[in-house]
Amino acid sequence: MDLSARIKELAIAQGFDLAGIAPAVEADGFPRFLAWLDQGMHGEMAYLARLDMAHSHPASIFPEVKSVLVTAINYKPSQEEKPAANFGRVARYAGGADYHDILHEKLNRLLEQIRSLQPGIEGRGVVDTAPLLERDFARRAGLGWFGKNTMLINPRQGSYLLLGALLLNIELTPDPPFETRHCGSCTACLSACPTEAFPQPGVLDARKCISYLTIELKGAIAEEFRPGMGDWVFGCDICQEVCPWNRKPSPGENWREFRDPAMERLNLVELLRLSEEEFRHRFRDTPMWRPRQRGILRNACIALGNTGNPEALPDLEQACLNKEPLVREAAQWAIDRINERFSIF
């Protein structure tokens, strides 16, 4: 077995569902990325624009890079449950441990194993936080194609995929890139988006995306988008839920141990009642820490306004006294929305 095949075999043994190799070249999608930034579709994610040119080539992260090993883990859950009243939904990737930590640990262990195969091998693991266009290299490594919702879709695993990459200083045999898109005339993902975040197939306007609104946006969410957010309190999976390619793949067994079903459906009223210390203890080591408590409370208030349960009014009224103006405004909006729905004055 040659070195490239052995490395991919080790990746699968480490708990990844997919592994492929791409050459360390300029990212195919870099010009599209710059055009996307120029149109302001990244919203307030200033870090993307600040490091714009760094996204052109993986050498900006690891100057000695010659090959990119791209890995993926299927995180599709085993079952779907409809949330109960006053419960909010969390994007499936966030229902448990922080994937950054888990994938980094796996990549570091994998790198140690690769080093033992041949003297002089060095590398760096990348999980979502370095300026690497991971999906571009995943496609080039043969892992899948870009859906019209911009997600990477693998014909066997679907699109519920967590991507990681190892930048290596050795020449490896690249896999054939995935050239064919298998979406055909399907536009299910585009039609299902409640905030119309896709101006055209394959282009996401993050400023309208529920994931961006609930996670990355630090200020108030524009009222025009709030009804479309439904009961999502962190992230969104709608464009993946409706994708036909996600019907047949089996649940992600390699991710099962890191899932916490209790984190995928959150009691919105309980969220409003958490003290700062309780919130920190519960969410500090999870993806939900990113928007901090003020962001999660903002989202919870909007979700309660959309679910329209008048039983939440006392807690929303209490939230109107929160020290954060962001939370107070969202709570009052939710109260007004519930009162309007039930004509409670």
CA dist 165 → 160, 178, 274 (Å): 17, 17, 37
Number of H helices, E strands in the chain: 14, 9
CB 327 within 8 Å of CB 298: yes
CB 27 within 8 Å of CB 60: no
DSSP reduced 3-state for 230: coil
Out of 128, 260, 285, 336, the active site residue is: 128
| Residues in contact with 277: Cβ distance below 8 Å, sequence separation at least 6, in sequence order | none
Distance CA(137)–CA(20), nearest Å, equals: 9
Q: How many residues does the chain have?
A: 345
- Both tokens of residue 270? 């309980």
Q: Is 315 considered catalytic here?
A: no
Q: Active-site positions?
A: 128
